[in-house]
Structure 1
Amino acid sequence: MAGRSGLGFGGKVAVGGFLLGLVAAVLAAGSGLGNRFGFWTYREGFSALEWIVYVGATAAVISLVGAALSWKGARIALVLALVGLVLGAAVAWIPYKTRMALRASPRLADITTDMTNPPAFVAMLPVRTADKARNSTDYSPDKAALQAKNYPDIKPVMLPLPSEAAFDKALAAVKGTGLRIIAADKSAGRIEATATTFWFGFKDDVVVRVAAAPGGTGSKVDIRSTSRVGVREAGTNAARVRKIATAIAAK
């Protein structure tokens, strides 16, 4: 008998799964946004997320049961169960997938197209200090070895343009990728910018160096992207360097 609510037992299970999935999604979003807006540290956010994953998994299971029990019942119950299943599964799966990707990635959060003489940060240094960046901008042979092994495709961009024109093109490309420009020193051939992730608000810093190409023909553009915190980043900086390089090289 459906009872006064018209949903019956299966419908109530479906509603419960949906509500728990909704709570899990809100908590998961808050775990990262809380760090971004300064309510807690990213470590605290990660710790909370580890438990929230289980909440999401539980919501997915309850919603699945609710969907099975409501298959021939009230349509709204089935819809809520399916939504709860999607929410719960997403909350459980996305952090798990991200964690596995981090574990599989090298202990490297500093990528550059020039491992012998990487572009140097200048205007960004006091910004990183004020933000209490945990990672140093010093470039070591260990970083070069890890990059050569894991990201051998990262190379400088060669342009058939004089340095000033190449700088303008590089600056437009960096702006086009959505990074926030911190400094653009044309005389020094240096562009510095910051990328901020949406969820946790992690900041990665980018420096682009434009110089005359060896031999005096055209220009050589080097790119460097480094994280302020974390020793593993699942290839984020390498992907960013590739994206900027592709934008600069585009005609």
Structure 2
Amino acid sequence: MRVLTTIVALAAFACALTIAIAGPGAKMGWWDYGTGFSMMRKVASPIDIIEGSISLSPIFVLAGLSLLGGLAALVMRPRGLGVFAILAAFAAVAAGMVPIKMRDLATSNPFIHDITTDFDNPPPIIAGADEDRVNPPEYVGDELVRNTDMTVAQAQREAFPELGPKTVNASLDETAEIVRNLIPSMNMVILDETLTDEGWLIEAAYTSFWYGFVDDFVVRLSPEGSQTRVDVRSKSRVGGSDLGANAKRVQEFFDKLDAVAP
């Protein structure tokens, strides 16, 4: 019983560790992000036990068995093994919830990775254009979203109708200073600032904590009399779906802007 409980607990912990290091390993260059996702799927995706009837996820099965073995060990001793097995079970459940949440985000958001508040003239990505990337810096709003008959622009309008340009009751330079302070508060790094006849273009980049994905974030400020129009664009450098992250970032930016702007 002790040996079996130990093996199951170690297997549950190993599955949890696999999910935990999938992202950091990709971030540190040990493997690519596709391999990281594959690692997560192998330990978390349900496997058909009886085709079409019963499917079980390895990590949750091991978590359940580890919990049972741990509870039994607490009663029958050794209690140290019981505590370890229970902790391994909880670690496996917590790790197993990560791919479930990612799957839910994937199904509840359109398969896009480029969000803009101006479909006709999206803020351009210039500073990050030549950085390592798979997705081109150009806006591809007319391209069809995978497995749909909607374009990227149409998918954004349907999923995030609230996202559009904002007008701030402040001068161009005042708004630019507000934006310069907001961007670092959102864990982004300013890459470049350009002042043209049309206004300010402030470019930044966001790097995700777990996988190290980099997204470009561009704020364009245009004068409208004594006020300033604010357009934003957020685009992932890699990946087909951003799981709603870019839209969430744009909305967070506008929420912070509304809170501090005159």
One-letter code of the match for 2:104? M
Deviates more, 1:145-154 or 1:70-79: 70-79
Q: Are 1:111 and 2:115 an aligned pair?
A: yes
- Residue 48 of structure 2 corresponds to residue 45 of structure 1: no
Distance 1:92 1:63, change over 3 A: same
Deviations 1:171-191 (A, max 9, x none): 111111110111122454011
How far does residue 34 in structure 1 lie from its aligned partner after superposition? 1.9
Q: Is the Cα–Cα contact under 8 Å of residues 63 and 85 in structure 1 kept in the other structure?
A: yes
For these two proteins, the number of residue pairs brought into alignment is: 237
Deviation at 1:105, TM superposition (A): 1.9
Task: Tell me whether 1:160 sits opposite 2:172 in the alignment.
Answer: no
Q: Can you give the 5+ residue segments of structure 2 that lack an aligned partner in the other structure?
A: 45-56, 143-150
TM-score, normalisation: structure 2: 0.82
Q: In the alignment, is the contact (CA less than 8 A) between 1:164 and 1:186 conserved in 2?
A: no
1:210-229 Cα offsets, whole Å, 9 max, x none, are 1112xx13111111101112
Looking at secondary structure, tell me which structure has more strand per residue. 2
Task: Identify if the C-alpha distance between structure 1 residues 13 and 190 changes in structure 2 by more than 3 Å, giving closer, same or farther.
Answer: same
Q: Is the 8 A contact 1:16 1:62 kept in 2?
A: no
Is 1:22 matched up with 2:49? no
1:59 CA drift (Å): 2.6
Task: Give the whole-Å Cα distance in 1 for the aligned partners of 2:32 and 2:250.
Answer: 27
C-alpha deviation, 1:55, in angstroms = 4.7
Displacement of 1:81: 2.4
Alpha-carbon distance, 1:96 to partner: 2.4
| Larger deviation, residues 12-21 vs 144-153 | 12-21
**1:95 lines up with 2:99 in the alignment:** yes
**8 Å Cα contact 1:159-1:219 kept in structure 2:** yes
Identical counterparts, % of pairs: 28
Question: What's the CA shift for 1:49?
Answer: 1.6
Unaligned runs of 5+ in 1: 1-8
Q: Are 1:67 and 2:78 an aligned pair?
A: no
- Helix, strand or coil at the partner of 2:9: helix
2:68 alignment partner AA: V
- Offset at residue 104 of structure 1 (A): 3.3
Corresponding residue of 1:232: 241
Q: 2:84 aligns with which of 66, 80, 100?
A: 80
